[in-house]
């Protein structure tokens, strides 16, 4: 494989064949009917005075390894929900991030806010699977998906009442998001092919994204403090997906309050 992103998607496709045999699509569709209504991520990311943080739960990454000792998804979700997270991002990929889709069911009763299923989604089955396990939205990575794939998966989500966060990394990705008529657009400062992070990507792409009115823009990766959040809010970002800064923090509630600006607003 030419890069880590290609390898992750290739392994995901192999894994998916077994998953489909174990839990066929008709059964997934039945399980969808048992889920609570989808929580409104647009409302969560656009209302209120504090900065909107999509707080991520992930055990490890292929670039940094294990992120947190004594990892407990339920405890982390509780800390996030009680301390101002607008939405949670839940890694469900197993081979490279050490997770599984059942974490969505574990977190759902703890966090009464929208849950983003963050995985390497390339098949319609995974969209149904996301809804059947309690996700309120799911991730689509424009860098890897072909235009038709991206558009079709996004539209399937809409049919199921499930929005997609379309993640972009360059101008070509942004054009693909526009073509697919994405209304929730992520700008990832991390190059998923090599793990390198550069905040200038968001500085360059946010003005481009604002050319299409009505979108909710999410700045992803490389955000460590309040100063960076304030900078990107000034140029048009609506929300921030933050994982490693929170997962490696010695005090998650304190760090999250810093990032949202809650502490400053409540003084």
Tell me which residues are annotated as active site.
Answer: 56, 58, 118, 167, 188, 220-221
d(CA 132, CA 74): 19
Contacts of 238 (CB under 8 A, 6+ apart): 45, 46, 52, 216, 217, 218
Dihedral of alpha carbons 91, 92, 97, 98, sign: positive
Which phi and psi (to 5°) does residue 121 adopt?
A: -95, 125
């Amino acid at each position: 494989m030419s890069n880590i992103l290609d390898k992750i998607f290739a392994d995901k496709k192999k894994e998916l064949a077994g998953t489909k045999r174990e839990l066929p699509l008709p059964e997934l569709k039945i399980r969808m009917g048992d889920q609570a209504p989808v929580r409104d991520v647009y409302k969560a990311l656009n209302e209120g005075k504090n900065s909107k943080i999509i707080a991520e739960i992930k055990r490890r990454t292929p670039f940094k390894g294990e992120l947190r000792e004594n990892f407990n998804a339920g405890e982390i979700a509780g800390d996030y929900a009680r301390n101002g997270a607008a939405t949670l991002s839940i890694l469900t990929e197993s081979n490279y991030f050490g997770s599984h889709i059942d974490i969505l069911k574990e977190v759902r009763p703890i966090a009464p806010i929208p849950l983003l299923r963050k995985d390497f989604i390339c098949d319609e089955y995974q969209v149904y699977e996301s809804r059947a396990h309690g996700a309120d939205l799911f991730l689509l990575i424009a860098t890897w998906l072909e235009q038709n794939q991206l558009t079709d998966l996004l539209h399937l989500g809409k049919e199921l009442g499930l929005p997609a966060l379309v993640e972009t990394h360059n101008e070509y990705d942004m054009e693909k998001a526009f073509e697919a008529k994405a209304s929730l657009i992520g700008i990832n400062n991390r190059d998923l092919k090599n793990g390198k992070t550069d905040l200038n990507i968001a500085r360059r792409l946010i003005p481009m994204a604002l050319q299409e009115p009505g979108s909710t823009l999410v700045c992803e990766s490389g955000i460590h403090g309040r100063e960076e959040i304030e900078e990107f809010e000034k140029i048009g970002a609506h929300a921030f997906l933050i994982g490693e800064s929170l997962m490696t923090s010695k005090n998650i509630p304190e760090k999250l309050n810093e990032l949202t600006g809650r502490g400053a607003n409540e003084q």
